[in-house]
Chain A
Amino acid sequence: MAGSKTLNQLPVGSAAVVRRVNAGGIMQRRLLDLGLVPGTRVEAVGRSPLGDPIAYNIRGAVIALRQEESSLVLVELES
């Protein structure tokens, strides 16, 4: 897949669709509970001054994720 990345690589202002969550265990469940289920459109909306965490719009709520979390989410960029 050409446009395939992990969520932390998504530039602020752009959107992608979740393909898979690769976390396992409790973290897997946590990310799913935040709405990151496959097929969900996610937009990177803002970066904190130090670049981590990054804020994402997930199903109508803005949620900040750390690199260690967002790097576990496989997404496909919107063309």
Chain B
Amino acid sequence: MIILQPNKKPAPAAVQPAVITVSDLFRSFGSNHVLNGFDLTLHRGEIVVVLGRSGSGKSVLIKCIIGLIAPDAGRIEVLGADISSLSQDALDQVRAKIGFLFQSNALYDSMTVRENLEFPLRRHWIQVHQAELDGLVRAVLQDVGLEHTIDMMPASLSGGMQKRIALARTLMLKPEIILYDEPTAGLDPITGREIIDLILQVRNKYGSSALIISHDMRCVRLTADRIVLLLDGVAYATGSYQELSASNDSQIQQFFNS
């Protein structure tokens, strides 16, 4: 792996403990070898962007981290727990601390916005009063600026609004880590910018760490504390935006010059 980090200045995030550690991850589908020994570390409070071309296995990586896809080999540690060896209950406990923003939003289309937001709390209903739940729903909707949509159906919202509702849903459980799968893909530049601002606001407000998957260079530039370049199933290079964009490795260059 090419590590682009100037020796004089230690990265500030590096002193924080790691919340996600992926080491030597392998996953293939038949003869399609998608991940071939991928490594990644995410520290507390940090935003790491995994940059890679379409079809390079970014979604597969993020689904391995949340336990939706089982890796063929390798180790994934999230908040100190080895994901592949957990019981269902323990896995659910870890998942409650992780927000996952799906590439397709995955809003429940038979439910209203309110019901969508309440759904992640179902497991904890016993402790939560209706009034408290209502306050919580309104608070996260306020965070994403969509309070008026509370009783609407997801299908009647625009793509950008759906993305924000999906983000609001991940915020319901105050996650320590948020995984974003291509948060700006398919949105116009202005709406994309709004989502980027929201991601930064969420980090500042909740102090959550974030792993963002993207091939939108503006999103990468504005959000990344550190970039990991996914190429041919491995972490080809890592470093800040400035460091990678100044690199003269042709494989790295092709992402920054397009």
Chains A and B bind each other: no
